[in-house]
Amino acid sequence: MSKEKSSSGFLKKHPLSVGCAVLSVVLIAAIIYRRDAMPAAVSDLDDRTAKGERLAANITNSNQLNEQNEALAKANAVVAGRLVKASELAKNLQYFYRMEAETGTKYIELRQQASPTAVKPGNAYLSVPYTMTVEGSFLQLATLLRRLENGTHFCRILNTTITRGTGDPGTTVSLLTMTMNLELLGQP
């Protein structure tokens, strides 16, 4: 019993010191607990801040979302209208024969090369390759090239070789022969 008296006596004699000691122990325990939880709380705060900023930007940018969506749909429709179908060989060759008639050139050779039947991963479209040898004057060949580049279909000319043709010796216009490999943008 004497120990109980001495403990309660010490508590009664020094209440402020005992209260400060208990408060110090509680605060030290809280600091140790919070120190372990601090990195998780900081990363959670950073995540929530980034999400909040992203949502604020989305709200700001959503004012014209419908107009932008309509513009993209129209642009996709225009692109889809300019694509060739790799499987429609006759229709694709007709495009080139129409150009031959319009420019006055003469095709010596025109072949659609074998093209892949499936789109490669990461690509949205196929390339439909062609090999072409055409004969004409310089102006006719330049006009043909211009029409290919600015034509109905998207065209990429891979390589071109121009040589002197076999034209009639009595004519004043010398004919040139142009051989080229090109690709039209297409879909399967």
DSSP assignment of 136-156 equals E-HHHHHHHHHHHHTSSS-EE
Q: Are 155 and 85 in contact (CB under 8 A)?
A: no
43-88 pLDDT, tens digit per residue, is: 889 999 999 999 988 888 888 888 888 999 999 888 888 888 878 8
For residue 4, pLDDT over 60 is answered with no
Do the domain assignments include residue 68? no
Same-domain status, 56 and 88: no
At 108, is the pLDDT very low, low, confident or very high (cuts 50, 70, 90)? very high
93-102 pLDDT, tens digit per residue, is: 899 999 999 9
Same-domain status, 52 and 88: no
Do the domain assignments include residue 167? yes
For residue 120, pLDDT over 80 is answered with no
For residue 1, pLDDT over 50 is answered with no
Mean pLDDT value of segment 143-152: 91
At 177, is the pLDDT very low, low, confident or very high (cuts 50, 70, 90)? very high
Same-domain status, 137 and 179: yes
Same-domain status, 180 and 91: yes
Q: What's 168's domain CATH number?
A: 3.30.70.60
| Per-residue pLDDT, 142 | 93
Listed in sequence order, the DSSP H helices in the chain are 2-13, 15-61, 65-81, 89-103, 138-149
Q: Where in the sequence is the domain holding 15, given as residue range(s)?
A: 2-62
Out of 6-15, 76-85, 113-122, pick the least confident. Answer: 113-122
Mean pLDDT value of segment 162-177: 74
Same-domain status, 176 and 123: yes
Same-domain status, 100 and 51: no
Look at the chain and report how many structural domains it folds into: 2
Query: What distance in Å separates the CA atoms of residue 56 and residue 9, rounded to the nearest whole number?
Result: 63
